[in-house]
Structure 1
């Protein structure tokens, strides 16, 4: 609605030109709408919503900024709506194929499915010209997306005043152009959408009725736009904006009844644009009304969820800056409306969604989600599942076996708390382990558990909904090595029934818990490396989640004199071959012969690409609290507390590759022997972001370059140098690391990269902005 389709003459006045919206493809009724690689993020059943791309010029943020794309990718948005324009606003020069391809590649980078606005009739174009242009655009689309799913919207707002394409002309153009497009790539999963009306009133219902009655082929989806405020300027504009939300169900009912009467059945539909008002000058978008706009957005999403029949998707206008619209500014700051949208989303993942959602070849999940002997047993009592960190989705509970979790709370004191409300709830096949179980006579059920975790790892079957291994309280003097994988729709989860009460402490092992699978979660264990281990948890695969674990006393047996010759080690880490793993809400301490410095021994030590490091507390390591190396790049390190380490609080190196696209935000780094955050030359990428980090009493200073001098890194902002004023700071780990009311960390963080919940499961933000560190201050 904010503008006509590409190539159409722009209507004068307050209406904006069309921007793109990202569509959430949920609750589809068409069975064969599988998403083309790269796959869209795994989503919950509750349908939610996408955004338009604001592709009004060559410098569009979503197209040109990897950080912007990563932000929307982290939200889990599955479809982006893109106008394939013939020219940009204010220019008559044609948009080149390279820019159109860049826009489509941006959708791929986000991991989303495209909705692409191709040419429709209007603007004086003859139908043959429309067909020629669309066939060329189709070739570009196929170049990027192959035969995978793409939604092709035939023009945009043909009934917009100033465009005024009669329904007979629109239908005739559809009947000429769409068959030609379908025959171009007959094996492609392309779906054709129309007529994308700018409003739904009596005339539009007649328009769509006449269109479906005459369309050959029949459209795969209908679409229209919804705005409610109507550029209201009187004193009661809020009543208009709120009251007109009820019209949305009326519109759906009117369209569906009309279509039913014309063709004897209903058709699925998209609301391909929606927002409060189509005019950027509307009072609702003024700076003083951001709070109201956020509240209105939440109400609007509730109305969209309640529509019956449900939309196949609904896309808010718009992703990034365009006038006063936008969920995210050009500087990747989330607006008030963006925060409301993000918090209401359901289905985004804590871990960046995979490029390939298939399971590893050696362990293809069973098609039967209940095939294991333990599946019929009662589920162990446990609290509700946590929400993913980027999007809490308060109205849509999700199974952690389907979605990676948010960081499980850990205590502020000496060890993990018991019975925390964020312990994951199991789904899929169920298995049980207890110290009084029996690996020979047990069957892995709740009534007859097995005795060891390793025996269970070898015997379990991962079904289509995943599998969960419940580990009862007690000490397990064994090393665990898992080789099986879950899948994007069903994780394999190893979880302590009560966080911190299941202790894995092998008497003699290099690695107490080693995982070589993909889509595996290791949740809530106390893991000790006192039996000679060089790594507490080591990950080799992809898309794994290490959550709420306490890993300690690893490599403490190394003599200080042997530090220089040490092969290295860590509390938690992944290999250079790994990628897209998440380390959430863990406590890692006493790693190496602290306080002796050992430069190869670290707390959390990721070596793969695209990892997520959030809400962790790391201290008393002989190296750096959090250290990246080898193939590390594109990671997010946010809201961690790293203190009292013998080297740096956080250390970024490239190792085997050039490291770039790091997001390092909202961390507290204090009392580390060297720099708070040290960066090596091979990791000093131009796209790295360092925002709103707090430094206090680090031996050499705040940001170090090559450990040889303090510097200001690129894209650094919001840096604080102050006492974080924690409730009871203690360098030995016995303190309470929550924030006090006087802490400079309160409301001083950025939403970029921040998890939606803190270490206690408290939703962020509680004040005006996200707090720095793993805990939100609760008022």
Structure 2
């Protein structure tokens, strides 16, 4: 006689392996869902904001939210908010972080002009109209940030104590402090932004990177800042920042200097300044300094075009109350410095490059063009241990006290294509062609053309390329005009 379980068609002994397999598969599947959505335990979602929407709605395309702040409170890892055209009179303070591979993104909808206007907002000191504090994996893209204040350290976009943050393709205008400020953070990208009327008239710099490691500041357009009473340098990596790159930016028409690396009172190191244009600033084009005695170390300045600045093209200087701050391993190669220094002011001064820090060890100045700078081309006011100055083109040696030519100099007109229009590429027959030293020369030039193109490395920021590639270089020049 068959037992009752068999009559019902169920064998508990035989079925156990299948149940175990099914249970294991289901558990693995559910675990993968949880892992893919953590933190926040939700699927990545795209939300929408429009001035005509309502914050009590679901934030869908059909029923968008009205404020970006609503999105900032809700978004979790992997989420995106697309913001419709309009003016938003609010500050943006993200409540949550993203995760590796799952950024939280705040972006303007395609083709939309999105203005975040702080004219009616009194920000707390040391904050910004967009304020990302102690967060990670967040991207802000395509917004126009205006009228951030009223305190001296109110920025347009301020990142503090955060990591893996991308600030891309935004425009800031009329900010009392920085247009974009980054403090005590890591793995930061500031790319393709326009910063205008920053530091009006507050502290810090137009783009400030302070105490931050692993940063990239590239492709930004920084110009026409405030009066500069308390701050206003163009781009500043300072105060213990390290392992960063400042590249491909156009910095011009500022009341202070253009690009600054200042150790302040902390070890600041591993910074590259490459392929930037700096012009028409009412101070130095590029300055390497340590205002309060921190060690400045391992800085590379290469492929920059620095012209028509009021003081020096490049300065290596204490620039503060500490008379001899420590600096070492500074490399200045393949730059073009033209027409720096101003003779029209009551106390005219300025020139190509000046070195006046007596506590400097290991300085290389090689393959640079110094052309028509006012009082000098290369001025070495102090002895330097481990100094190498060689293979530079000197156009206009003035014989000023402590001005030097260096070893293996090339002299004469560099034959720029059109210096009056800011085109410092070389014409055929330039004495700079093939006359540089290969050692320490960057692998490519200002236009990302590989070196060398001829029998040797060219002197200056631009490698001469004839024919078809010259036409390409001209197109690149036009594209780089802002």
Normalising to structure 2: TM-score of the pair?
Answer: 0.58
Match of 2:311, SS state, is coil
Kept after mapping to 2: 8 A contact 1:766/1:778: yes
User: 2:219 maps to what in 1?
Assistant: 548
User: 1:413 maps to what in 2?
Assistant: none
Alignment of 1:341-352 (within 5 A): none
In structure 1, C-alpha distance between the alignment counterparts of 2:101 and 2:439, rounded to whole Å: 34
Structure 1 residue aligned with 2:189, among 512, 516, 521? Answer: 521
Larger strand share, 1 or 2: 2
Match of 2:377, SS state, is strand
CA shift for structure 1 position 456: 6.3
Structure 1 residue aligned with 2:82, among 431, 438, 448? Answer: 448
Deviations 1:218-265 (A, max 9, x none): xxxxxxxxxxxxxxxxxxxxxxxxxxxxxxxxxxxxxxxxxxxxxxxx
In structure 2, C-alpha distance between the alignment counterparts of 1:618 and 1:514, rounded to whole Å: 20
CA shift for structure 1 position 544: 1.1
Match of 2:240, SS state, is coil
User: 1:439 maps to what in 2?
Assistant: 68
Q: Structure 1 602/767 Cα, relative in aligned 2: closer, same or farther at 3 Å?
A: same
The question of 1:625 aligning with 2:285 is answered: yes
Q: Structure 1 449/764 Cα, relative in aligned 2: closer, same or farther at 3 Å?
A: farther
CA shift for structure 1 position 581: 2.4
Deviations 1:531-585 (A, max 9, x none): 4355110111122111111111124x25xxxxxxx55541110223322322111
In structure 2, C-alpha distance between the alignment counterparts of 1:460 and 1:452, rounded to whole Å: 24
In structure 1, C-alpha distance between the alignment counterparts of 2:216 and 2:335, rounded to whole Å: 20
CA shift for structure 1 position 480: 0.6
Structure 2 residue aligned with 1:724, among 407, 414, 437? Answer: 414
Deviations 1:703-743 (A, max 9, x none): 21349xx999921110111333333223xxx5334333344
Deviations 1:85-120 (A, max 9, x none): xxxxxxxxxxxxxxxxxxxxxxxxxxxxxxxxxxxx
User: 1:676 maps to what in 2?
Assistant: 352
In structure 1, C-alpha distance between the alignment counterparts of 2:278 and 2:366, rounded to whole Å: 20
The question of 1:634 aligning with 2:302 is answered: no
Q: Structure 1 477/711 Cα, relative in aligned 2: closer, same or farther at 3 Å?
A: same
Kept after mapping to 1: 8 A contact 2:392/2:436: no
Deviations 1:579-634 (A, max 9, x none): 23221111111111xxxxxxxx3111111322211111111112110011113332
User: 2:235 maps to what in 1?
Assistant: 572
In structure 2, C-alpha distance between the alignment counterparts of 1:748 and 1:465, rounded to whole Å: 49
Q: Structure 1 667/546 Cα, relative in aligned 2: closer, same or farther at 3 Å?
A: same
Count of aligned residue pairs for this structure pair: 324
Q: Structure 1 508/688 Cα, relative in aligned 2: closer, same or farther at 3 Å?
A: closer
In structure 1, C-alpha distance between the alignment counterparts of 2:429 and 2:66, rounded to whole Å: 50
Match of 1:675, SS state, is coil
Q: Structure 1 749/469 Cα, relative in aligned 2: closer, same or farther at 3 Å?
A: farther
Kept after mapping to 2: 8 A contact 1:637/1:753: no
Kept after mapping to 2: 8 A contact 1:653/1:680: yes
In structure 1, C-alpha distance between the alignment counterparts of 2:438 and 2:458, rounded to whole Å: 9
In structure 1, C-alpha distance between the alignment counterparts of 2:37 and 2:89, rounded to whole Å: 23
Structure 2 residue aligned with 1:591, among 249, 254, 258? Answer: 254
User: 1:539 maps to what in 2?
Assistant: 209
Match of 2:214, SS state, is coil
In structure 2, C-alpha distance between the alignment counterparts of 1:532 and 1:453, rounded to whole Å: 22
Alignment of 1:603-614 (within 5 A): 603-608=258-263, 609-610=268-269, 611-614=271-274
Kept after mapping to 2: 8 A contact 1:369/1:465: no
Kept after mapping to 1: 8 A contact 2:392/2:459: no
CA shift for structure 1 position 477: 4.8
In structure 2, C-alpha distance between the alignment counterparts of 1:758 and 1:371, rounded to whole Å: 44
CA RMSD of aligned residues (A): 3.6
In structure 2, C-alpha distance between the alignment counterparts of 1:474 and 1:758, rounded to whole Å: 32
Q: Structure 1 474/712 Cα, relative in aligned 2: closer, same or farther at 3 Å?
A: same
CA shift for structure 1 position 761: 3.9
In structure 2, C-alpha distance between the alignment counterparts of 1:452 and 1:767, rounded to whole Å: 57
Q: Structure 1 625/472 Cα, relative in aligned 2: closer, same or farther at 3 Å?
A: same
Deviations 1:643-696 (A, max 9, x none): 1111111000246522121111111111111221100132542x2111111111
Kept after mapping to 2: 8 A contact 1:617/1:774: no
In structure 1, C-alpha distance between the alignment counterparts of 2:424 and 2:238, rounded to whole Å: 30
Deviations 1:182-208 (A, max 9, x none): xxxxxxxxxxxxxxxxxxxxxxxxxxx
User: 1:494 maps to what in 2?
Assistant: 167
Kept after mapping to 2: 8 A contact 1:688/1:715: yes
Q: Structure 1 585/744 Cα, relative in aligned 2: closer, same or farther at 3 Å?
A: farther
User: 2:449 maps to what in 1?
Assistant: 762
User: 2:471 maps to what in 1?
Assistant: none
Q: Structure 1 775/474 Cα, relative in aligned 2: closer, same or farther at 3 Å?
A: farther
Q: Structure 1 715/671 Cα, relative in aligned 2: closer, same or farther at 3 Å?
A: same
The question of 1:691 aligning with 2:373 is answered: no
The answer for unaligned runs of 5 or more in structure 2 is: 1-34, 47-64, 104-136, 149-155, 342-349, 396-412, 467-482
In structure 1, C-alpha distance between the alignment counterparts of 2:82 and 2:279, rounded to whole Å: 40
CA shift for structure 1 position 755: 4.4
Q: Structure 1 470/377 Cα, relative in aligned 2: closer, same or farther at 3 Å?
A: farther
Larger helix share, 1 or 2: 1
Q: Structure 1 669/448 Cα, relative in aligned 2: closer, same or farther at 3 Å?
A: closer
The question of 1:777 aligning with 2:464 is answered: yes
User: 2:425 maps to what in 1?
Assistant: 738
Match of 1:714, SS state, is strand
Match of 2:176, SS state, is coil
CA shift for structure 1 position 439: 0.6
User: 1:659 maps to what in 2?
Assistant: 327
The question of 1:582 aligning with 2:245 is answered: yes
Q: Structure 1 758/369 Cα, relative in aligned 2: closer, same or farther at 3 Å?
A: farther
Q: Structure 1 729/462 Cα, relative in aligned 2: closer, same or farther at 3 Å?
A: farther
Normalising to structure 1: TM-score of the pair?
Answer: 0.37
Q: Structure 1 461/770 Cα, relative in aligned 2: closer, same or farther at 3 Å?
A: farther
Kept after mapping to 2: 8 A contact 1:495/1:522: yes
Q: Structure 1 471/758 Cα, relative in aligned 2: closer, same or farther at 3 Å?
A: farther
In structure 2, C-alpha distance between the alignment counterparts of 1:643 and 1:741, rounded to whole Å: 22
Alignment of 1:52-131 (within 5 A): none
In structure 2, C-alpha distance between the alignment counterparts of 1:696 and 1:718, rounded to whole Å: 14
CA shift for structure 1 position 524: 0.7
